[in-house]
Structure 1
Amino acid sequence: MTTKRKPTTTEQLSFAFELYHRIPKGRKVTAQELQTELSHVGITRDIRTIQRNLDVVAQYLDVDKDTRNKPYGYSRRLTSQFVLGPRESIVLELAKAMISDVLPDQLHYTVESAFQPILNHQRSYPGLQRKQGESTRAGTHSTFCPVETVEELVTIFEPLSLALTYQRLITITLKTGETIENMMPLGLLLSIQSFHLIYQSDDNTFDIALHHVAEVKVLTFHFDYPANFDLHQYSLQPELYGKHIDLDSDSYLTEN
C-alpha cells in the first residue's frame, strides 16, 4: 500500500501565501473560484484543503471571511499593505530591467530607488533559503524580442512566475513532445529573439527559448537557489551540448 507524502512546513506555508496573494481587495472570492485559478497554474488541491488553509489565512492575516451566505467569500482589507503576487513580481523585474537598459548609467541608481521598495517583499516568503545579496529572477539580454514572441508566453507565464518566486522544481513539455523533468528555474532573460528560461539540471546550467515550450508543470518540491549563480552575469550561448548551432534554427537548448 502506498502512503501519501505529507507536505513539509515550507510547502504548507507557500500554499497558504499563494492563496493569500490571490484574494482580492474590494471584492470577494470563493474557495471554489480559487480552486479553479490554482488548477490553471498546475496546483491541484481538493476543496476541503483550500477551505482549511483559507481559515488559517483569515485567522492570521488581513483577510475577512464573509459567512453570511454560502459559498463563503474572502477579501483582503482595503488597508492591507501592498503586496505583489509571483506573476506581478516577475513583470515588475522585467520592467525594471528594460528601463535600466535604455537609460544611461547615471540614472540606474534612480531606477533602483524607484523599484526596490516594491521588490523587497520577494525576500520575505517564509521557508525559502535565498542566496546572500540581490536576488534577481528576470532581466534582458541585448535588445528586445518581437511582440509576437512575447505573446506566446501567455499560457506559461503564470506557472513560471510561481516556480521562480517560490523556488519550485518544474517539468516542461516542448512543442516537439519531449519533456525535461525536475528543472531548477533560475530566471528569465529577454533577448532579441525570445524569452529564455535559465535553469539548472544535474549541476549544469542551461537556457531554453520559451517559444519552444508548450507546457510548464510546477512541482511541489522546493530547491535552494545556487549561491554562486548571478543572472546578470549569465551569457546565452549558441551551443547545443558542445555542438555549434545556428541561432536562427529550430534548435532550442543551450548549455552555459
Structure 2
Amino acid sequence: MKQKSSLNESLSLAFEILKRIPRSRFISAKELQAQLAEAGIERNIRSLQRILQSLSETLNLERDTRSKPYGYKLKNTNLGFALPNLSEHESLLLGLSQQYLSHLLPANVSASLSGFFQQAQYNLHSDESPANAKAWLKKVRVVSETQPLLAPEIDLTVMQAVSKGLFENRWLNLQFNNRKGEQKRANVMPLGIAQQGNRLYLVCRFEGHNNERSIAIHRIQQAHVSSFSFEPPAEFDLAKYDNDGRFGFGEGKQCRLQFCINKAQGYFLYETPLSKDQVIEEQAEQLSVSATVTDSLFLHRWLKGFGDEISNIKTEIVEL
C-alpha cells in the first residue's frame, strides 16, 4: 500500500507541474517551486529538477539549455497537456480578474489558475499580440467614489491561512488588533470575505458566540488553520449580511428616510435610486426625496457629506 501511495503522490505532483508549464514561454524550476508553494505543495528544487528532466525525456518537453537555470515549455505537439489557447476576449477577462479579484479567490484556487493568468498576460503583452489587445487593460479601471487611499499591507501567509480555512470550512486561530489597537486572540469560524474599497474583511463567528463579526484582514498578525472542521450555519447569508448594513456599521434595521436636496446635487438620484420604493417630488429649487433604506453609520455620514445642500432630514425605524 505504501508503494501505491508513493506512486499516486508522484503522479499527482507530475500532473501539478505539467499544469503549470506553458506553451508560450520557458519556465524555470524555481518559478515552478514558487507556484507550487502557493498551492501548498512544498518540494525542494533538486526534486523538481529531476522530475522536469524525466518529463522532458518522456513527453518531449522543449528545454532551454543556453543558460542556467534551464527553462521548460510544452511543444505544440503536446497539445493534450497544454493550457487552452485563450482568445483575446478570454485573455482580457482573465487579466482583469487577476487585477481586481485575486484577493477574493482562495489562495489554492488562485495558485491553480496561475498558468492561465500567465498565458493571458503573455497573450496581452507578447510581440505577436494586436496593439488594441495590449492597450485594453490600460483602458479599463475601477474608480473610487471617495478620497483614494493606499491599500493596507496584508501578510501573505495570513491570507493563505484565512482563505484555506474559509474554503475548507475549518476553524482558525487568530492573533489580531481590534479597532482600538488592542491585541486579541480568538478561535473563529470563517464564513466569508468581503472587499470594501481597498480593504478586505473576514466575516466570522467567534467561538462560544452565535452572531457574526467582521475583522479587517490587514489587522491579523497570525492565522493558523485548525484540524477541526465545522458545518456552516444554515441561517447565515453573506449577501443578507451586507444588505443589512453590517459593513456600514448598522444593525440590520430598516428606516424610512426623508430629506430635501438641491436639484443640481440630487439629480443623480434619478439615475441611481436609494431604493426601489424611492419617491422624488420636484419643488422650486429642491427635490423632496423619500426611500426605505438600511439605517447605518455610513448612511448618516453620507447625508452629512452634502453639507448645506441637504435639509429636513428625517429617519423613522420601520418594523418588519
TM-score range, shorter chain: 0.3 to 0.5
TM-score by length of 1: 0.41
Question: Which of structures 1 and 2 has the bigger CA Rg?
Answer: 2
Structure with the higher fraction of residues in helix conformation = 2
Higher relative contact order, chain-length normalized (CA < 8 Å, sep 6+): 1
TM-score by length of 2: 0.36
Structure with the higher fraction of residues in strand conformation = 2
